[in-house]
Amino acid sequence: MSFSNLVSDLAFRDAHDDRSSQISRARSQATARSHTSTAATSVSISGDISSHLHAGYSHPLSRSWQAERQLTKEMLIYPLFITDTPDEETPIPSLPNQHRRGLNRLVPFLKPLVHKGLRSVMLFGVPLHPSAKDALGTAADDPSGPVVQAIRLLRSRFPQLYIVTDSVDRISDVALAYAAAGAHCVAPSDMNDGRVRAIKLKLIEAGIAHRVLLMSYGAKFSGCLYGPFRDAAGSCPSFGDRRCYQLPPGGRGLARRAMQRDIGEGADIIMVKPAGSHLDIIRDAKELASDLPIAAYQSMAFESTEGILRAGAGIVIPY
């Protein structure tokens, strides 16, 4: 037998011996595990087997399956503050990393976000010209105004982007103008009695109610959290008290009645604002409007959205 053949034979023999040894050890270990498993099973069966939960969250993927609802890009609506100065891009001190933008700045800003998966935006007009505001809000539905122009621009450049508009004074006329310009959804933010019905009737008369959603701000509570947003939108009150049409923070019964009112008037989506401190109202909304999407307006932190989604919201508008 040559040396090389001997080496090969010895190697084969050693490998065979090792394999036999491994098989023997494996059989012994399997037998031991079997006894242990049988003993553990006996204990489990004698008690409450439903208490064995750990397998459901021992792996990262199985942990993710336990979430009742998970935040997805489709749930987010990004707010945009649009000014009547086309080339403006001004930081908003009270909202870090947010800006007021003119029409010429919108497409460059949105392009990478849409590429990453942004599906929807909400437009807020911020008229800065001294003559832009008057008691009747005539600039709001001006065809040459920033919001109407922005709707047309975004529909042209981002056909798949879903556009929501916030409408205010002379609310039904403004909402109709935004819808006619191409908005997919209109949202009357003052939540006064009869607003939803008035807008719905205008949309029906114009023959566009079948393609324009109506989002209700029915459960909008008064509080101190709106300051940064009003600063961003240039909508700080110059007179009066907006609390007269916003719900008192403890008014759960009023919120339930307001949501029922708006459902009856034809709302397609019910919104709760601010969401983080009113998770019980989101749950009420899901109960009262079980067949409608529920939106939540919230100062954005990822952790806070988990509670909002568990409460029943399926749309999140961060600011």
The residues, ordered by sequence, that sit 6+ positions from 72 with a Cβ below 8 Å of its Cβ are: none
Confidence band, pLDDT 50/70/90 cuts, at residue 4: very low
Say whether pLDDT at 283 is over 80. Answer: yes
Confidence band, pLDDT 50/70/90 cuts, at residue 225: low
Percentage of residues of the chain with pLDDT beyond 90: 36
The residues, ordered by sequence, that sit 6+ positions from 121 with a Cβ below 8 Å of its Cβ are: 77, 78, 79, 80, 110, 154, 161, 162, 163, 164
Q: Residue 121: what are its φ and ψ, rounded to 5°?
A: -130, 155
Q: What pLDDT score was predicted for residue 271? A: 93
Say whether pLDDT at 300 is over 80. Answer: no
Q: What pLDDT score was predicted for residue 106? A: 97
The tens digit of pLDDT for each residue in 22-50 reads: 555 655 555 555 444 445 444 444 556 55
Confidence band, pLDDT 50/70/90 cuts, at residue 275: confident
Dist. CA 68–CA 118, nearest whole Å: 23
Q: Higher confidence at residue 47 or residue 249?
A: 249
Confidence band, pLDDT 50/70/90 cuts, at residue 249: confident
273 labelled catalytic: yes
Dist. CA 292–CA 241, nearest whole Å: 31
Which parts of 157-274 are beta strand (E)? 162-167, 185-188, 213-220, 269-273
Q: Which helix (H) or strand (E) holds 120?
A: strand 120-126
* Cα 209–Cα 178–Cα 114 angle in degrees, nearest 5: 100
Q: What pLDDT score was predicted for residue 204? A: 92
* C-alpha closest to that of 70 among 282, 302, 319: 302
Active site residue: 73, 111, 116, 273, which one?
273
Q: Which helix (H) or strand (E) holds 297?
A: strand 294-298
Say whether pLDDT at 239 is over 60. Answer: no
Q: What pLDDT score was predicted for residue 241? A: 52
Q: What pLDDT score was predicted for residue 15? A: 55
Active site residue: 73, 200, 202, 220, which one?
220
111 labelled catalytic: no
* Cα 282–Cα 287–Cα 288 angle in degrees, nearest 5: 95
